[in-house]
Structure 1
Amino acid sequence: MDEDEDAVLALLDDEYARSILAHLTIEPMSVDELCTACEMSDATAYRRLNRLQEEDLVAEQQEMDPDGHHYKRYTATVEAVTVTFADGAYEIAVTRSESDPADRFTELFEGLS
């Protein structure tokens, strides 16, 4: 098992990280929304989101509110994590969601603005 697999397993052992991922499979959410839904502090949410992003399990999107201010919403990029045991070893496989090409273009364009 490599470091990335260790990090994913350690992260999934965390109650807050699992809660964040579960809520983000419903819809993209801001940190404030996640704090309310997952009953955690801002600091806890930001720490977990940073770790989830490092492992490519969560992505951030820039949104604009009606007042013209930018803020971030987060979305889960993982669909499944599978642990397979065979021949005296185990293997971790992460299945990531595939975004729609139109969504990728929109994200790219918004990132340039």
Structure 2
Amino acid sequence: MRGDDSTDEQAVFEALADPDCREILATVAEPLPAKAVAQQCDLPQTSTYRKLEQLSEAGLVAEQTDVRPDGHHRTTYVRDCNGVFVALDGDDAFDVEVVSARQSPDERLARLWARVSEEL
């Protein structure tokens, strides 16, 4: 992503700048319904839903459906990233790359080395 080409980077930056969003990211290491997230983060439920939506739009949290045998399915939220790379260049532009939680350690290491070799 290029900082001057898309609003996705802005969404990532705004989500990470919000202390409540960062707390939510730490809380949803395992799938949780919004009500549990609100309780654990000591946030109003309406704020929690708004911040979960913000994190989801930024690609940092995934929304899942917990299918239950009684037919009362529920939506859960889980962190969908392991990190964020931000690279600045000399032209006041930047690249933002969200590291997916679905990547293996080998894939993350390969990405890191690719970025390092770009700098050399």
Q: Shift of residue 69 of structure 1?
A: 1.0
Corresponding position of 2:99: 95
Percent identity between the two aligned chains: 32
Given the two structures, how large is their TM-score scaled by the length of structure 2? 0.72
Count of residues in correspondence between the two structures: 99
Residue 56 of structure 1 aligns to a residue whose secondary structure is coil
Higher relative contact order at CA 8 Å, sep ≥6: structure 1 or structure 2? 2
Q: Which amino acid aligns with 1:19?
A: E
Q: 2:83 aligns with which of 77, 80, 84?
A: 80
Corresponding position of 2:52: 49
Q: Distance in 2 between matches of 1:9 and 1:41?
A: 23
4+ aligned runs moved over 6 Å, structure 1: none
Q: Which runs of 5+ in 1 are unaligned?
A: 101-113
Q: Which runs of 5+ in 2 are unaligned?
A: 105-120
Q: Shift of residue 59 of structure 1?
A: 1.3
Q: Distance in 1 between matches of 2:72 and 2:80?
A: 25
Corresponding position of 2:117: none
Residue 71 of structure 2 aligns to a residue whose secondary structure is coil
